[in-house]
Amino acid sequence: MSRGTRALALATGALLAAALAMNPSLALESDETIGPVRSTGPEEVPADPLEMPETIPPVAGPSGLIAYQPEGAGTRRHWLDRPSIAIESPYVRATVVVESSSGARTISHYGFDCAEKTLALLATGRSDGGWRRLEPVDWRPVTQGRNHTPYLTAIYKAVCDGGGPTRTVAQMIERLRNPLLDDY
């Protein structure tokens, strides 16, 4: 269930509960037209959506870039920008740099939702060193059909552990450099 769908369902349920509490005569005789009624407990309340910070740090110099080799990389080179990593449980934000065999670089800032196993491109790097934010943010499963992106899956596996962020940035870097053999 997407975030938007989940939020709409929660809001609709809250409004229906409030209406029934105020006027019990509105109770439904049948739920055939509205579907099953769900009750949510505190453990089912979704986290607030990831918000973009006021500023995204510029890409670090060579000392801040962590090289890694994802499956299927071919001649492309990949780096995770260590200073850009921000942990906001259950989310992790980070900048990824990809260089083609011809030397062209793509710089992107991603959000990883460890609880939902999803990711979103939040901003792309501009040639002047600034950022172009993407609105609306489109969250998708880490591995989704033709959009399977092993270089992002490798980062997800490093920054997320057991439905939440890996404890420290140092542990994230260690996991990226030494990928786990098991699946996320």
Residue 145 has a pLDDT of: 62
Mean pLDDT of the chain: 78
The answer to whether residue 175 scores a pLDDT higher than 50 is: yes
Type of residue found at 66 = I
CATH architecture assignment, domain 62-177: Beta Barrel (2.40)
> How far is residue 95's CA from residue 122's CA, in Å, rounded to a whole number?
10
Q: What is the pTM of this model?
A: 0.70
Burial 137-169 (b: 16+ CB within 10 A, else e): bebeebbeeeeebebbbbbbbbbbbeeebbeeb
Mean pLDDT on 19-29: 49
The full DSSP string for 6-63 is HHHHHHHHHHHHHHHHH-GGG--S--TTT-------GGGPPPPPP---S--PPPP-GG
The answer to whether residue 10 scores a pLDDT higher than 80 is: no
The answer to whether residue 181 scores a pLDDT higher than 60 is: no
Mean pLDDT on 5-32: 50
Residue 174 has a pLDDT of: 95
What contacts 126, CB < 8 A, 6 or more positions away?
132
Q: Using one digit for the tens of pLDDT, what is the confidence trace for 110-149? A: 999 999 999 999 999 998 889 999 988 889 999 766 666 8
Residue 93: pLDDT band with limits 50, 70, 90: very high
Question: CATH 2.40.128 spans which residues of the chain?
Answer: 62-177
The answer to whether residue 41 scores a pLDDT higher than 50 is: no
Higher pLDDT, 30 or 117: 117
Residue 35: pLDDT band with limits 50, 70, 90: very low
The answer to whether residue 49 scores a pLDDT higher than 60 is: yes
> How far is residue 159's CA from residue 143's CA, in Å, rounded to a whole number?
15
- C-alpha distances (whole Å) from 50 to each of 86, 119, 146, 166 are 11, 11, 25, 17
User: Beta strand 77-88 with 105-113: parallel, antiparallel or unpaired?
Assistant: unpaired
What contacts 158, CB < 8 A, 6 or more positions away?
80, 166, 172, 173, 175, 176, 179
Tokens for 140, please give them.
């998708």
Tokens for 101, please give them.
């065999």
